[in-house]
A and B are shown apart, each in its own frame.
Chain A
């Protein structure tokens, strides 16, 4: 197993900069998720680690050894592709045996390793099938098996679950996680699905436009997003945002007033400079519905979405549209006026200009 270090990686295609000075350190046995919208450079970064793309600048090292000029054959990494990339003319067993065959293992060793991986992944009955006779989930498993058999230094996953249906995806999510716990292998997992990143990773790296926006544990990122991008990218439904003004009350304590509302909300924990325009964020899960006169702010119901265990209420607050997620069944109809309450510590404040977190 291995630690992987990316130092000041840049990748340019002509004048187009795909990765801009990205540095990430991945510890031995860590499961790191690279997450971000399409085109953020996460897949390119993974392919750079794999050795499938060259870099314009920077240094990649595996276990302290610089591998910039090492081809993918020599890096001893295994990759699971989004399209699985199974060899269509080889059976499950042959696909899984291929990397071992290339390394000159004996037939006996190969049979043993392949058999072991197959039983871990419940592929025993499918060993003689060609990929085209397998379902999506089974192909996915074979791809994982092919990666597992040779005990590589690290696993690279390039959106491995995005071609599966929702139910299978959540199942495979669990399996990959369990596999990681069992194998204890360094893993880099690229996904655009924040739920996958949140549930699977030890650490998440959020990328946007070729840069790292923030890295940290899933909970850190969820609780204290460093900027507006991370705040709006993680969490479902998306964090509610509104322009607000930070001022002081008569006693000099900081208070927040939303543009659309007259009521002022004290934010005693805030220690930065007051009297500025900010963007205030509140997660849909951190608000409660109360009668209008008891609310800190008033809102008008627009749409009520019942998902069974939660109710998503889309409301209008002045010109803004917010979503409130309630655990209680709400008997609400379009046009109803409700009050919303929340705890002050759940408010995320971002600078209006730099969009960086200020509380």
Chain B
């Protein structure tokens, strides 16, 4: 007992001296620390903060098409934007676009990642093929697919008619539904490499012995997947979903290059709407208000998503 007691005193003394050292260090830290991070902080504020500030300013002031600011107009631009039926339509289309692309991507990426994690002949080649879309710029991919689905000389129609199907001159991008579906599919295609990479990372983090243990416990392959793989992949899926939502929500090139938001704004999403408002119609004020609204939506989504997932995690910890 006495030994134990002396142990305790020793450790508490040690803790006290450690604490003291910590305080000393903390006291001398702020000034030097601030000094050290000042350059990068200044750079970040300039690069990230200034545009946000500028957009906010344009959203709240009268602004002409060359960006010259006039009088303060309060929320007038917001009222203008929100009362534009095309804005509302584009907003809904953005929701459909984001949900479909992210949902489709995750749905396809999980099985693909599982297959690519298995050991099979030619796995390296398969992995490379899956990751290839990543290496090509979005604009290039969109251009290529615009040619593929072209009604008159696209390879899609050529293939379909060669198979005897009646699609000789079907103008895929001329109809809003088919155009939007094709854009969503291209969106999924380009989001897969990133998502597969994240999920494959998640899969390698699951030890093999867990599957062996579950097999001995009596779990079938399907049950192992639902009871072990999926729950353990959850944090990785969360990352994939959050990042993909942000990327896809703001993704401009695919829609812009393939359909320009048409026909009749039926494939417009907010980012193409805002772009058109600013650089086609010269309504910089409306465009700025739309941008601010988009920024707010993403912020709200991220905050909501993070609190939801974090609270389930802490619930698990308790």
Residues of A bordering B, CB below 8 Å: 50-52, 71-73, 75, 77-79, 81, 83, 85-89, 98-99, 102-103, 128, 130, 133, 146
* Count of A-B contacts judged by CB separation below 8 Å: 62
A52 vs B234: C-alpha distance in the bound complex, in angstroms? 27
B residues in contact with A87, CB < 8 Å: 210, 213-214, 227-228
Residues 226-265 of chain B: 1 if any A CB is under 8 Å from the residue's CB, otherwise 0? 0110011010000000000000000000000000000000
A85–B220 CA distance with the chains assembled, in angstroms: 17
Q: How far is the CB of B148 from chain A (nearest CB, A)?
A: 43
B197-233: which have CB < 8 Å to A? 207, 209-210, 212-220, 223, 227-228, 231-232
13 contacts between A and B (CB under 8 A): A52-B216, A72-B216, A73-B218, A75-B216, A79-B213, A87-B213, A87-B227, A87-B228, A89-B231, A89-B232, A89-B316, A102-B218, A130-B317
Give the complex CA separation of A81 and B207 in angstroms: 12
Interface residues of B (CB under 8 A from A): 207, 209-210, 212-220, 223, 227-228, 231-232, 234, 316-318
Contact A98 B232 (CB under 8 A): no
Question: Which of A71, A86, A146 is close to B215, meaning CB atoms less than 8 Å apart?
Answer: A71
Q: Per DSSP, are chain A's interface residues mostly helix, strand or loop, or mixed?
A: loop
Tell me the dominant secondary structure on chain B's binding face: helix
By a CB distance below 8 angstroms, the chain B residues around A73 are 215-216, 218-220
Query: B316 and A99: CB pair below 8 A?
Result: no
The reply to whether A72 and B220 form a contact with Cβ atoms under 8 Å apart is no
- Which residues of chain B come closer than 8 Å to A133, judged between CB atoms? 317
Q: What residues on A are CB-neighbors of B209 within 8 Å?
A: 81, 83, 85
Within the complex, what minimum Cβ distance (angstroms) separates B219 from chain A?
5
Whether A99 lies near B217 (C-beta < 8 A) is yes
Q: Which residue of B lies closest to A103 (CB)?
A: B218
CB atoms of A146 and B217 under 8 A apart: yes
CB of B82 to closest CB in A, whole Å: 43
Given the interface contacts A52-B212, A98-B227, A130-B316, does A88 sit within 8 Å of B218 by beta carbon?
A: no
> How many angstroms from the CA of A132 to the CA of B2 in the assembled complex?
33
Which residues in B have their C-beta under 8 angstroms from that of A130? 316-317
Chain B nearest Cβ from A300, distance in angstroms: 40
Contact flag A102-B219 (CB < 8 Å), given A87-B228, A89-B231, A130-B317: yes
Residues of chain B lying within 8 A (CB to CB) of residue A146: 213, 217
Chain A CB count within 10 A is highest, among B215, B218, B231, for B218
Question: CA separation between A139 and B232, bound complex, in Å?
Answer: 19
Name the residue on A nearest B209 (C-beta): A85
Q: Within 8 Å CB of A78, what residues of B?
A: 216-217
Distance in Å from the Cβ of A310 to the closest Cβ of chain B? 25
Closest 10 pairs between A and B when the two form their complex, measured CB to CB: A85-B213, A99-B217, A85-B209, A72-B215, A102-B218, A89-B231, A72-B216, A79-B216, A73-B218, A81-B209
Q: Closest residue of chain A to B230, judged by CB? A: A89
Query: Contact at A102–B316, with CB atoms within 8 Å?
Result: no
Q: A87-B213, A88-B210, A103-B218 are in contact. List 17 more A-B contacts (CB 8 A).
A: A50-B212, A71-B215, A72-B212, A73-B216, A73-B218, A75-B216, A81-B212, A85-B212, A87-B210, A87-B214, A89-B231, A98-B214, A98-B219, A102-B217, A130-B316, A130-B317, A133-B317
Which residue of the partner chain B has the closest CB to A75?
Answer: B216
Most chain A CB within a 10 A radius of its CB, from B209, B217, B223: B217
Q: How far is the CB of A264 from chain B (nearest CB, A)?
A: 54
**Bound form: Cα–Cα A4–B248 in Å:** 58
- In the bound complex, residues from chain A placing their C-beta under 8 Å from that of B219 are 73, 98, 102
Q: How far is the CA of A102 from the CA of B223 in the complex (A)?
A: 9
Kindly identify which residue among A75, A83, A102 contacts B207, using a CB–CB cutoff of 8 Å. Answer: A83
Contact between chains at B217 and A98 (CB < 8 Å):
yes
Residue of B nearest to A76 (CB): B218
